Structure 1
Amino acid sequence: MVRRLPDLRRKPPSRDPKRVFILFCEGKNTEPAYFKALERHCDCVVLDIQVIRAAGTPLTIAERASAEVRARHTDKGSFQPGDQIWAVFDRDDHPYFDQALKLCEKAKVGIARSTPCFEVWLILHYQDFHRPDGRHAVQRHLAALSPEYDAKSGKLPDCASLMKSLDVAERRAETQLQARETERTPFGPPSTTVHLLTRAIRRSASLDKKKK
C-alpha cells in the first residue's frame, strides 16, 4: 500500500464571510449616496452594503424587504449570521404606512423611518432640529446648511464630510425622538430612526476590527 505524503502546501488564511446589509430605500439618490459614503467611512473589508434604490412606497418596500427575508431563509446558504435587511422610508403623506411598519416587524426587517423625510436625518449632522415642517420646508432648511444640496436639481450633499458628525447626529436623533415622546406625538415631525441603522452598520464593522 502506497503511503500518501501530507500536503505541505500552505492553506490560505480563512476569512470571515461578508456581513451584508440590504437596504430597500425609497429615495433613488440621496439615501444611496449617504449609505455608500458610510460604507467607505467604515473601511471594513467584510462589510457589504447593498442599496436597492427607488424601491417604491413604504408598503411596497416592506413587501419587497419581507420577501427578501423569506427567500434568503429558504436558501440557507445565502443568509449568514450578521446579515441584516432594512427598510428605509419616509412618513410624508403615504397611505398604508402603519401596515408597512407591521409587515416589517413581522418579518424582522429593520426600520429606518423619517418624518417627514430623510433630510431630517441629514440636518442632524449640522444641528438639533425640532421644527414640525413639511418635506419641502425641511429640504430648504438642509439646503441652507449644505450649499452642495439642491432637491430640485438632484444635487447631493457632501456625504463624506457628514461622516465627521455621525456620532453627534445619532445623539441628536435620540434627543429628537425623546422630545416627540414628551409631546405625546411619538415619531411625529420631525423625527428619524436612521441612527438605529447607522449604529447597526458601525457595530458590525467594529466587530471585525476587534478581531484583528
Structure 2
Amino acid sequence: MFCDSDVTERDYLRALVGHVANPAVTVRIRNKPCSPSQLVAHAASFRDKAPEDFDQVWCVFDVDDYSDIHQAVKKAGDLGIKLAVSNPCFELWLLLHHTPHTAHIMGYRQLVPLLTKHVPAYDKARINFPRDFGPSWARAVERARGLATSGQEYAVNPSTGVWALVEIIGGGSDRRR
C-alpha cells in the first residue's frame, strides 16, 4: 500500500492489520506525500523492481484539492494499481465507522466536527484504533459500499473506496467483527 499522507492512513491501516490478524494477508505500507498521479507512478515503479513480491498494489489517497485525480485513476488502471480513494478525505472513512453519512461534504474542515461528535479526542496524528475504530470497521465497509459504484469513489462526494482494501485485509465476510 502506498499512502499520500504521513500519518493518518498509515496508522489506521497498520492498526487494522494488527487487529484482524489475517494470516493470509501480508501488508507493506509506504508513505509518499505527493499528488495522486505521482503516488501511482511511484507505486508502479516500486512494484516493477520486484513484481513477484506483490499480488496487489494499492494507492490510498484523498480527492481534497488535487487537480490530477482523473489522470491518477487512468494511470492506475493502465498500470494495474488498485485505488482506495476517499472523497473528499480519509476522515469520511473514519466517520462511517460510527454513523452513515450521505450529504455532500466540502472538505476536511467540514468533516472533522462531524467525526468529533463520535470521537471527541480525534487527532489525525494519533489514531486510537482499538477504542475508536476497531469494533466498527465491518459496519464502515457496509456503509461505504453503498455510497458509490466500486471504482467510482473519486467522482462521488461523499464516498470512499477504502472499504475494498479493508475487506481484503479483513479476509472478507467470514473475518468481520
Task: Name the TM-score, length of structure 2 as normaliser.
Answer: 0.85
- 1:164 alignment counterpart: 135
Instruction: Write the letter of the residue equivalent to 1:33.
Output: D
1:181-202, CA deviations, whole angstroms, 9 ceiling, x for partnerless residues?
9xxx983211001000011122
- 1:144 alignment counterpart: 117
Check whether the contact 1:116–1:190 (CA below 8 A) recurs between aligned residues: yes
Stretches of structure 2 lacking an aligned partner (at least 5 in a row): none
- 2:25 alignment counterpart: 47
Superposed displacement of residue 143, structure 1: 2.1
- 1:201 alignment counterpart: 169
- Please give the secondary structure, in 1, of the residue aligned with 2:26: strand
CA gap 1:146/1:157 in 2 versus in 1, 3 angstroms: farther
- 1:29 alignment counterpart: 7
| Number of aligned positions between the proteins | 170
Q: 2: CA distance between counterparts of 1:86 and 1:55?
A: 15
Q: 1: CA distance between counterparts of 2:155 and 2:19?
A: 28
Q: 1: CA distance between counterparts of 2:66 and 2:116?
A: 24
Superposed displacement of residue 166, structure 1: 1.3
Instruction: Write the letter of the residue equivalent to 2:166.
Output: T
- 1:187 alignment counterpart: 155
Query: Which of 85, 92, 100 in structure 1 is aligned with 2:57?
Result: 85
Q: 2: CA distance between counterparts of 1:163 and 1:50?
A: 20
Q: Percent identity?
A: 27
Superposed displacement of residue 38, structure 1: 0.9
Q: 1: CA distance between counterparts of 2:45 and 2:32?
A: 17
Which structure would you say has the larger Rg?
A: 1
Stretches of structure 1 lacking an aligned partner (at least 5 in a row): 1-22, 208-212
Task: Name the TM-score, length of structure 1 as normaliser.
Answer: 0.72
CA gap 1:186/1:49 in 2 versus in 1, 3 angstroms: closer
Q: 1: CA distance between counterparts of 2:23 and 2:2?
A: 22
Q: 2: CA distance between counterparts of 1:104 and 1:37?
A: 26
Q: 2: CA distance between counterparts of 1:67 and 1:102?
A: 16
Q: 2: CA distance between counterparts of 1:99 and 1:126?
A: 32
Q: 2: CA distance between counterparts of 1:60 and 1:86?
A: 13
Q: 1: CA distance between counterparts of 2:145 and 2:155?
A: 11
CA gap 1:121/1:84 in 2 versus in 1, 3 angstroms: same
- 1:101 alignment counterpart: 73
Superposed displacement of residue 203, structure 1: 2.2
- Please give the secondary structure, in 2, of the residue aligned with 1:89: strand
- Is it true that 1:68 corresponds to 2:46 in the alignment? yes
Check whether the contact 2:35–2:68 (CA below 8 A) recurs between aligned residues: no
Check whether the contact 2:22–2:170 (CA below 8 A) recurs between aligned residues: no
Q: 1: CA distance between counterparts of 2:123 and 2:166?
A: 24
- Please give the secondary structure, in 2, of the residue aligned with 1:132: coil
